[in-house]
Structure 1
Amino acid sequence: MKKIAISCGDLNGIGLEILIKAHTLIYPHITPIYCVHFELLKQASELLNLPLPENLTLSHCLPPSISPPPIKAGTITQESGQYSFESFILGCQLCEDKQAHALCTLPIHKKAWNLANIPYLGHTQALSHRYKTEAIMMLGCEEMFVALLSDHIPLAQVPSLMQSERIYDFFMRLYALYPQERYCVLGINPHCGDDGIIGKEDQEIQNAIKYANHTLQAPIFCGPYPSDCGFIPSKRQEFKTWIAMYHDVGLAPLKALYFEESINVSLGLPILRVSVDHGVAFDIAYQGKATILSYLNAIKFLTHPLFSIKT
């Protein structure tokens, strides 16, 4: 069976509840390597009144210099931020050392990382820096995947990225990593700019589509389509993969339709990393309410990939 490194995420959120709840369901299919101290699992088990499965063991531990902080449900703390980062780094190292086939990350809190002076806006940026390549963030499920040209950056910075050469390079890289027959490319301005009346950025997207299709000698990239119509039922019958220029433009429809089941995949890295497609859910932390479907789909993706992902 494949060995999967699993980072614990923020201790004060729903990560440990998901880990404990799902263990007996994933254990017959993978060998999970949990990057967390056992005493934290015991503490979470007691807070949740949820017994630990008898076959839940830890084969790797964090470095001795990393002490497990106390769980403070639903609270942003520097300690939980630092611990979740160290858990994530251990998961990366296990993959790099070939002790794990892939990494599955449970959700972290970006502010907690910030308080711990961790200079990354989440897993994807940290992975890009660690492996000196820009990871492509793609989220979704069997019915729909959305790849993002820009992810965790302020909206004000997005227009500066709308350059045909940059977009073309993104298209070609995505096609090499995740080849599909057709992609639905979303515009960025209302009505895709109405031929330049509402901004010129969509003309850059259109040029990139033209050049990419010419290179591939096929109409692989389609659009750009106005974002407000890009996910209507007819488009969802026509396409399975979308490309959004900005994080929320692509993910708002995805999460409205498939919030509990979609996953997050990092493309273009020397390791395969997937994650749940939701946050720490501090509002329900340690109340026994966390759903595990996204996590189960992430594990399923690693064991029986639904799509062709190249690393």
Structure 2
Amino acid sequence: MGDPAGIGPEIICQAVAGMSTAERDGVLLVGDLAIYRRAAGLIDAAPDFVPLEQAVPGDGRVAVAEVSVAERQSIADGRIGAAAGDLAFRCVERAVALVQAGQAKVIVTAPLNKAALHEAGHYYDGHTGMLAALTGAPSSFMLLASERLSTLHVSTHVSLREAIERVTPERIAATVEVGHEHLVAMGIASPRIVVAGLNPHCGEGGIFGDEDDRIIAPAVRALRERGFDVHGPISADTVFYRASRGEFDLVVAQYHDQGHIPVKLIAFDTTVNVSLGLPIRRTSVDHGTAFDIAWQGKADATNLGAAIAYARRLAKQGAVA
């Protein structure tokens, strides 16, 4: 459901409203049933919902694994609040349990608000870190996937200063490895991966920083020696352009904004956030809770539709990484 004070419930209702009966039979929503029914009132051709225990395949209704919190009445539309953050967390927790129990194959998440999570006492940097903690994964990786350009990040929700410290040979290798594994599982037999430089012009021979020559280049050489089709470091001011024109299948970005900005510029409405390195599969929208338009019937479910479509591909391909 994401943060119930945001646009999550209504874009979910939009998405399932456009599904066939067969597609609805393959979807299980997680969240507060009353909130979903309220959100359905904002859209045309509103779907009907039924608790999971009462679901009947083929009747066109959407099954809901119910999750609620005691302070639900305090959730205010478009406002940060502890009750909303707690419900968002409980929904993710329930979704993970459903996948681990074999009742679902892939999790698709609507946006949550990190401040609301923290107010509720759930101190995570977002979905990716939360899912790693809930599944016991030692680490996780954020892939932004689109038709023209895909990026995988060495680091994400940390300060720029800390992001630089996280540029290590070990993390670069792990990022390339998990990206390669994912692309192979998705049908690309020999993925072409490129690693972006950290500093302007990859440091210009050390003039603008030595991390590219001292850390990134040796890591790339070691990966090539192991058989990966990986290149770099290539300066970030050109590498995304080259990848968008088809030269590479994946760019390894060194930090959050380096990878997010070019992908969102090219494909804001269709980019899918995919978590790699976890023992479960998960996709997500690449936008936020949009509190400014929440519960006004203005939200657009296009990006959620792309996340659901990618999730179906994951389920079909059997990709785990």
TM-score with structure 2 setting the length: 0.86
- Amino acid in structure 2 at the alignment position of 1:42: R
Q: After superposition, what is the alpha-carbon deviation per residue over 1:32-71, rounded to whole angstroms, capped at 9, x for unaligned?
A: 211112211233334x3656324444342226x6563455
Which residue of structure 2 lines up, in the alignment, with residue 284 of structure 1? 293
CA distance in 2, matches of 1:222, 1:169: 15
Secondary structure, aligned partner of 1:119: coil
Partner of 1:209: 220
Which consecutive unaligned segments of at least 5 residues does structure 1 have? 1-7
Per-residue CA deviations over 1:138-177 (Å, capped at 9, x if unaligned) read 0122222110010111111012122223322332333234
Structure 1, residues 61-101: CA drift from partner, whole Å, max 9, x if none? 226x6563455221111110001110111111100111111
CA–CA separation in structure 2 for the residues paired with 1:88 and 1:12: 16
Q: State how far apart, in whole Å, the 1-side matches of 2:13 and 2:171 are.
A: 43
> Secondary structure of 1:228's match?
helix
1:136 alignment counterpart = 141
Mapping 1:263-278, distance limit 5 Å = 263-278=272-287
Deviating more after overlay: 128-137 vs 15-24: 128-137
**Match in the other structure for 1:72:** 76
Paired residue total: 300
Deviation string for 1:118-147 (max 9, x for gaps)?
021111001112222211110122222110
User: Is 1:45 aligned to 2:40, yes or no?
Assistant: yes
Structure 1 residue 230 displacement after superposition: 1.7
Which residues of 2 match residues 1-80 of structure 1 at below 5 A? 8-27=1-20, 28-30=22-24, 31-46=26-41, 48=42, 50=44, 52-54=46-48, 55-62=60-67, 66=70, 68-80=72-84
Structure 2: segments with no counterpart, 5+ residues: 49-59, 185-189
| TM-score, normalising length: structure 1 | 0.89
User: Which digits, 9 at most, give the CA deviation of each residue in 1:199-254, with x for residues without a partner?
Assistant: 111121111100000011x5x11111111112225752312311101011011010
Q: Which residue of 2 aligns with 1:245?
A: 254
Q: Distance in 2 between matches of 1:302 and 1:198?
A: 41
Residue 167 of structure 2 corresponds to: 162
8 Å contact 1:69–1:80 — kept in the other structure?
A: no
* Counterpart in the other structure of 2:57: none
Distance 1:263 1:26 in 2: 19
CA deviations on 1:271-304 (whole Å, 9 max, x unpaired) are: 1111111111112212222221211111111223
In percent, how many aligned pairs have the same letter?
A: 31
Q: Give the aligned partner of residue 234 of structure 2.
A: 225
> Equivalents in 1 of 2:170, 2:91: separation in Å?
37
Q: Distance in 1 between matches of 2:158 and 2:243?
A: 31
The DSSP-based 3-state class of the residue aligned with 2:297 is coil
Specify the code of the residue in structure 1 equivalent to 2:172.
I
Contact map agreement 2:85 2:116 (CA 8 A) in 1: yes
Answer whether contact 2:146 2:263 (CA < 8 A) is retained: no
Q: Residues of 2 paired with 1:159 and 1:171: CA distance?
A: 17
- C-alpha distance in 2, partners of 1:307/1:167? 26
Contact 2:193 2:230 in 1 (8 A): yes
Give secondary structure in 1 for the equivalent of 2:15: helix
* Post-superposition offset of 1:194: 0.5
What's the offset of the Cα at 1:29? Answer: 2.4
Distance 1:26 1:267 in 2: 27
Inter-CA distance 69–147: structure 2 relative to 1 (3 Å threshold): farther
The whole-number CA distance in structure 2 between the counterparts of 1:140 and 1:15 is 20
> Does structure 2 conserve the Cα–Cα contact (< 8 Å) formed by 1:138 and 1:267?
yes
Letter in 1 for 2:194: C
Q: Distance in 2 between matches of 1:99 and 1:223?
A: 42
